[in-house]
Amino acid sequence: MSFSGADWWPLFAHFLAMSMLAIGGALAVAPDVHRYIVDERGWIDDTQFNAAVALAQSAPGPNLLFVPVVGYAVAGVAGALVALVGMLIPSTAFALLAARWGSRRRDQRGVRAFVAGMAPITIGLLLSTGGLLAMPLARIPGAWLLIVATLVLCLRTQMRPVWMIAGGALAGAFGLV
Amino acid sequence: MSDGPAGAPRSPGELMRVFSALALQGFGGVLPVAQRELVERHRWLTREQFLEALSFGQVLPGPNIVNLSLIVGDRFFGWRGAFAALLGLLGLPLLIVLTLAALYGQFASVPIVAGALRGMAAVAAGLILAMALKLVPTLAWNPLGRALSAAALLSTLATVGVLRWPMAYAVVGIGGAAFVAAWWRLGRKS
């Protein structure tokens, strides 16, 4: 199932929806982007999806940038822009309106209940994202080693993520993964 | 206010340059850099104002750092400032990451490149899992209580991560239930 001219609107519409569901960071929507773009539409495969997230994490800038990289893998530069603009429009419009309306209301019970209710869901979504990235690598022992080493370094040291990514790239280039 | 921030951007252009500079320093997350630059270096915001903008940005849909840049930009120059900050945040990083993606596309079949990307993907998986695990202890103070927090977390992981259901069901269904439970518990306490 390759991408065709009739697929521009579904691509754009998917990211419009993701924009409003991205509570707790852009990476929280990665499982749903994967479900739609890889599983349902088959526009790109697991390897390309994983590469998109890994590239976005290795480059400077917000994690949100995995969205245009997925769009690029689907349909080139135009795909990147369609995905990014879709991901930005609804939440940006909403944020600008709400910033003026609600910043003084953040102590109200409704807002506090929303923050509290969403917190465990965000963590569940992030764990899903990590699992999703690990799954295609599940049969490679070296990949498990890298995942566990990254976890230990993150939880036990102050090492900057960029060095871990560089280490992973080196390990992979030398055939460990 | 006597304890307001010492500085302010002089123009939307300066806002854009500072957001550009902080985005380019942010490998694996821009938020820590944003705090250092906006609060400690340029002093456009006090620590409290930063936290306020951040926690409000987290409640809104959309990526936190994008919302933070919109709120900060809007505070100084209205919607022009908001777009200047957003453009600064995303412009150069987008160019860089698309260049990398194009290069990867050219060389994806070279074994060394494919291997390096697999290694980076494994580390990326570890980074995201670590980010999630570091957030777990914060649930101890959640008004939901430990049992309900754990139930919401695990059911999200099961439906989205394992069963691969559309995320909207989890966010609306489980999130809605968690919201109602938190609302009820917050009311009972006060």
**How far apart are the C-alpha atoms of B177 and A91, rounded to whole Å?**
23
> Are residues A161 and B102, on separate chains, in Cβ contact within 8 Å?
no
Cβ-based contacts under 8 A for chains A and B:
390
- Whether the pLDDT of residue B2 is over 50: the answer is no
Instruction: Please tell me the predicted confidence (pLDDT) of residue B109.
Output: 87
The answer to whether position A67 is within a domain reads yes
Domain boundaries, chain B: 1-107, 109-138, 142-190
Instruction: Find, in chain A, the residue whose alpha carbon is nearest to that of B81.
Output: A96
- Whether the pLDDT of residue B3 is over 80: the answer is no
Binned at pLDDT 50, 70 and 90, residue A107 comes out as low
Looking at per-residue pLDDT, the higher value among A105 and A11 belongs to A11
Tell me, yes or no, if B33 comes closer than 8 A to chain A by beta carbon: no
Q: Which of A128, A148, A170 to mutate to test the interface with B (most CBs of B within 10 A)?
A: A128
Binned at pLDDT 50, 70 and 90, residue B14 comes out as very high
- Contacts with B118 from chain A: Cβ below 8 Å: 50, 137, 140, 143, 172, 177
**Average pLDDT over all residues of chain B:** 88
The answer to whether position A146 is within a domain reads no
Q: Hey, how many other C-beta atoms are within 10 angstroms of the C-beta on A97?
A: 11
Per-residue pLDDT tens over the stretch A3-44: 988 999 999 999 999 998 888 778 889 999 999 999 999 999
Instruction: Please tell me the predicted confidence (pLDDT) of residue B62.
Output: 84
The answer to whether position A35 is within a domain reads yes
**Average pLDDT over all residues of chain A:** 90
**How far apart are the C-alpha atoms of B134 and B40, rounded to whole Å?**
25
**How far apart are the C-alpha atoms of A47 and B118, rounded to whole Å?**
8
Closest CA of chain A from B155, distance in Å: 8
Q: Are residues A38 and A24 in contact, defined by beta-carbon separation less than 8 angstroms?
A: no
Among the partner-chain residues A27, A62, A96, the one whose CB lies closest to the CB of B128 is A27
Instruction: Please tell me the predicted confidence (pLDDT) of residue B50.
Output: 83
Per-residue pLDDT tens over the stretch B125-175: 998 899 889 889 889 889 999 999 999 999 999 999 999 888 888 888 999
Per-residue pLDDT tens over the stretch A78-97: 999 999 999 999 999 988 88
DSSP B38: I
> Are residues A60 and B93, on separate chains, in Cβ contact within 8 Å?
yes
Our count of domains for chain A comes to 1
Q: Are residues B30 and B65 in contact, defined by beta-carbon separation less than 8 angstroms?
A: yes
Domain extent at residue A90: 5-117
B189 token code pair: 């306490």
Instruction: Please tell me the predicted confidence (pLDDT) of residue B1.
Output: 41
The answer to whether position A28 is within a domain reads yes
Q: Which of B118, B136, B139, B141 to mutate to test the interface with A (most CBs of A within 10 A)?
A: B118
- Whether the pLDDT of residue A177 is over 80: the answer is yes
> Are residues A128 and B156, on separate chains, in Cβ contact within 8 Å?
yes
Could you report the predicted ipTM of this complex, rounded to two decimals?
A: 0.86
- Contacts with A16 from chain B: Cβ below 8 Å: none
The answer to whether position A139 is within a domain reads no
The answer to whether position A61 is within a domain reads yes
For the entire predicted model, the pTM comes to 0.85
List helix spans (H) across chain B: 12-25, 31-35, 47-59, 64-107, 111-135, 146-156, 167-169, 175-189
Question: 3-class secondary structure for chain A?
Answer: CCCCHHHHHHHHHHHHHHHHHCCCCHHHHHHHHHHHHHHHCCCCCHHHHHHHHHHHHHCECCHHHHHHHHHHHHHHHHHHHHHHHHHHHHHHHHHHHHHHHHHHHCCCHHHHHHHHHHHHHHHHHHHHHHHHHHHHHCCCHHHHHHHHHHHHHHHHCCCCHHHHHHHHHHHHHCCCC
Per-residue pLDDT tens over the stretch B77-99: 999 999 999 999 999 999 999 99
The answer to whether position A74 is within a domain reads yes
**How far apart are the C-alpha atoms of A25 and B28, rounded to whole Å?**
12
Percentage above 70 pLDDT, chain A = 96
Per-residue pLDDT tens over the stretch B20-69: 999 998 776 687 788 888 888 899 998 888 877 877 777 788 888 899 89
> Are residues A51 and B104, on separate chains, in Cβ contact within 8 Å?
yes
The answer to whether position A153 is within a domain reads no
